[in-house]
A and B are shown apart, each in its own frame.
Chain A
Amino acid sequence: MTPSRFRALSAPVLVLVLFVLGLFPAPSSSARADSWEGLTNRGVVRWANDAEGGAPYIFHPADDASKLVGFEVEFAEALCSRLGLRSEFVQYNWANLIPGLRQGGNFDIVVAALERTPENLAQVGMSRPYFVFGQQLVARAADTGITSLDGLRGRTVGVLGATLSQRLATEAGAEVRVYDENVNYFRDLELGRIDAVLTDSPIAEVNLRDRPLLRRAGRPFAPGFYAVAVPAGDTRLLERIDGAILELYRDGTLERIYRKHGLWSSEQATIGTWTDSGEAANPVTRPAGGFARWNVYLPILLRAAVTTVWVTCASMALAVAWGLVLAVGRVYGPAPARWFSIAYVEVFRGTPLLLQLYFVYFGLAQQLGWKLSAGAAAVLTLGLNYAANEAENYRAGLQAVPRGQTEAALALGMTPWLTFRRILLPQALRISLPSVTNDFIALFKDSSIVSVIGLVELTKEFLIRALDAGDYLGLGVMTAAIYFAMGWAASAAARAIERRLHP
């Protein structure tokens, strides 16, 4: 399931927003615990999912990009009509579905492959299963050595973040690479960047169809259930939904839908026989918020911050060096160098960073066979992108140095190169330092974008842990504090340099 890209882009901002929102408690959910009457009055059920989830759940078919299809779409529509209500789809960021449901207001239920796990049951009401899935291990066809999770100790396994797959792969001692949607790990597996993927069987089912390089490694195991989520305590709605699911199963509607998508299996019989074993009545007690357990979460976040720091610093080093070359080409170079520099800056400033990241990480690997590691792709992309900014900063700096400086240096017999190195560059750097510092601090925050190619840096770790702990506020404050400290350290360093330059 793909949480929206927006989140990755603006995650540090989101952290602060969540923090601020956290100061204003949402209306307590018990006040509207019984929503059935409201729903029947309105005549419509708003069900939420993330359209980026992909096949077979919810996707835009290749032949008609305006339509939304998938087995969950059809199930949700069948469910609503069985409840006697109209169905209305609400697009929502997958990773935030549960917090969104708890907060209320945007949608009434969630039909989005949410697993019926103790963690989820502790936060929202969950229906009886509407789909039974297993964990499917996927490996490269050529790599016949991999047959089960046990053989994966020390090998790299791609999983979706905050899922059963992640937990099982971690427990098996594998080197876990966390993704936030379910297509890219198959690409990385094909490209040899990872050794296996552990995922839900429907995802494997669909993605293996057009990927001849990959194969199932063993049979599905560790059965799990997808269930409809409703606000906690909304028992009347839950009973109706449970009833409707059972009817849809018994009258063959579910089988028809799932068969259509190639997802029907004998395991689905559990939908009819399942009884509540009492997990819901006895939910796991959640640990007190993330804040209270700061001694657990802070080290985890700090470790992730190390990734943020090295990605940022390495990218900035590249941006500074390459930006300087571009600026010199722009200011002093011959016409072709000038044109190249102008075009470079415009292209990199004028296209989204995310697009560039995908281009470098997947585009180069698929079309040219340059399989960069996620870290290298992240540093390369951020570095090349920020080089455009730095080039402009240095250009402004170089152009701000008065012409007389060059003349004085040349008149003293200095060569053009010596003049540049000893006289112009130091002054230009001094002039551009404040803008470069700004960019450096911005890069700390922008580096969170690299989570989309599986690098767990600070923001990604925050999102994973906040979901685990069910505490966006406490962990958000900690994460924001770490970002603040990093940015503050960067500006302190810049101030020290500035003092050395302006004695």
Chain B
Amino acid sequence: MPLLEASRLEHLKMLEAESIFILREAAAEFAHPVMLYSIGKDSSVMLRLAQKAFYPGKIPFPLLHIDTNYKFPEMIEFRDWYARHVGAELIVHKNQKALDEGANPYDLGTQKCCGLLKTRSLLDGLAEGGFDAAFGGARRDEEKSRAKERVYSFRDSLGQWDPKNQRPELWNLYNGRHHKGESIRVFPLSNWTEFDVWLYIHAEKIPIVPLYFAKEREVVVRGNSILVLQTGVHLLPGEKPQMVKCRMRSLGCVPCTGAIRSDADTVPKIIEEMISFRRSERENRVIDHDEEGSMELKKREGYF
């Protein structure tokens, strides 16, 4: 079966139209929207959709990257190149205070580290820019609590999500009204699946970070995880580096994102590989599995 058969293209077209509708709606209704750009495949798709939504005009809002300082160098390189390529304004925000005070995943543990360098940093970055709406590339199929989220997700003045008290959201009549200090997270990719995202990347020839493609990499195998050896990953006593053909299924911080063994070095091969997968994409993210429902807790605190 060809990957881009007619019914699949038809479905992508429907998803694309829905996402563009959401992007335009938010761009029209909010005073200071911003797009959270995480450099991953979903962000790449969201960015392409924004290009399409406002063509031939420029994307009418800046991109915001929350840099934890623990991202793969390839990601940062790609980010700077792609933002320039697209012609978008890029804002990079770091929790410099926490970094100066020595915040790092090894001493703090993943939860605390994520809380400081991602969630706190995100909330500060949004507040500093005075943004009243932030686009995020999250999809409902990623995780159970995300499956519960609205397209327009209301956040109180502390950036918190109240999942038990969400606004009704009927049809495509999104309600973005808020008081000063409150904000809305907008999720244009809500109805996309991981499979849709890859198909779209293939169909649209969207550039992605090379870490998604399989290649011999120097890694350390630790329990079930394969960690790519990069600055910052410390070998534990008895561990030895080795060469493994592997790739990333989702991109996060160096110490918390595991690779998977894979031969898929092209987008069609990645898609073929995914068809055979029986495990979810965030499984290789340490942070999501600290305890049951940890994604929901993080989101309530202001995470995406």
State yes or no: do A and B come from one complex.
no
